[in-house]
Amino acid sequence: MGEDYLAHPKKTIQEFLSANADNIVFIPYAGVSLSWDEYTDMVNKALHDAGLKVNPVHRHKDPCEAVENASAIMIGGGNSFHLLKLLYDHHLVKLIRGKVRQGIPYIGWSAGANMACPTLKTTNDMPIVEPPHFKALGLVDFQINPHYTEDVLPNHGGENRAMRIAEYIKTNPGSRVLGLPEGTMLRATDHHVRLLGDKGCKIFQYGLPSRWIFEDKELNDFLFNSQII
């Protein structure tokens, strides 16, 4: 049995939003198999005992106005292609990017974490719809692969996750990818990136061996210093 929904990051979310919790705009566009109302209710139920309540963007006549007035922005998981397409359809990509760069807190998990990256290209999802292009919010300067695992099914003949990321690195040599297993978080503030949790992360970069980092620590040197191996 897994833990309750958002149980692991709940305390971190609460602390991160301590001064910005009055109007948390939640964007449920990644949800496909459940309605956005159901998704919103699930998030509110999970965060209730942390004293947090989200304001779903889809219940606003003007999504841009909702985001413009947000004290914080939260994007949940699901299908990241579906999510990115709707962010473009509703003219939210540049707006969210600008709001976060002005200091509005951003929280994203799974597909929402993919959105924080420069591009959608390291998602695990199937392209069930086609966004205008793969450029995402670009809130950080590196790529994330959520739910990272090195498990391989018996008799599975296809590529594992590490092999797929290696293909991305080879064709995008200027990029770096963080594989984040379940139970791992990143906190990026004021040009500092910190790894949270005890599951570690794996860093992939062109021309250097990939490596695991397990400590709760700052990752800036590993992300932005090409001499770190």
Q: What pLDDT is attached to residue 225?
A: 60
- 147 part of the active site: yes
3-state secondary structure of 204: strand
Give the residues across from 189 on adjacent strands.
192
Return d(Cα 162, Cα 169) in angstroms, integer: 10
- Positive or negative, the CA dihedral 13, 28, 131, 78 is positive
Active-site residue among 62, 110, 175, 192? 110
pLDDT at 80: 98
**Where do the structural domains in the chain lie, given as residue ranges?**
1-139, 140-229
Residue corresponding to tokens 């594992």: 160
- Write out the chain's pLDDT in tens, 229 residues: 467 999 999 999 999 998 899 999 999 999 999 999 999 999 999 999 999 999 999 999 999 999 999 999 999 999 999 999 999 999 999 999 999 999 999 999 999 999 999 999 999 999 999 999 999 999 999 999 999 999 887 887 778 999 999 999 999 999 999 999 998 999 998 778 999 988 899 999 999 999 999 877 788 877 766 543 3
Question: Domain 1-139 sits in which CATH superfamily?
Answer: Class I glutamine amidotransferase (GATase) domain (3.40.50.880)
> Which residue intervals of 69-198 are DSSP H helices?
80-89, 93-101, 111-115, 161-171
Q: Which of 41, 71, 147, 210 is catalytic?
A: 147
- Active-site residue, 48 included: no
* 125 included as an active-site residue: yes
Residue 229 pLDDT = 37
Q: Domain 140-229 is of which CATH architecture?
A: 3-Layer(aba) Sandwich (3.40)
Which among 90, 125, 198, 226 is annotated as catalytic? Answer: 125
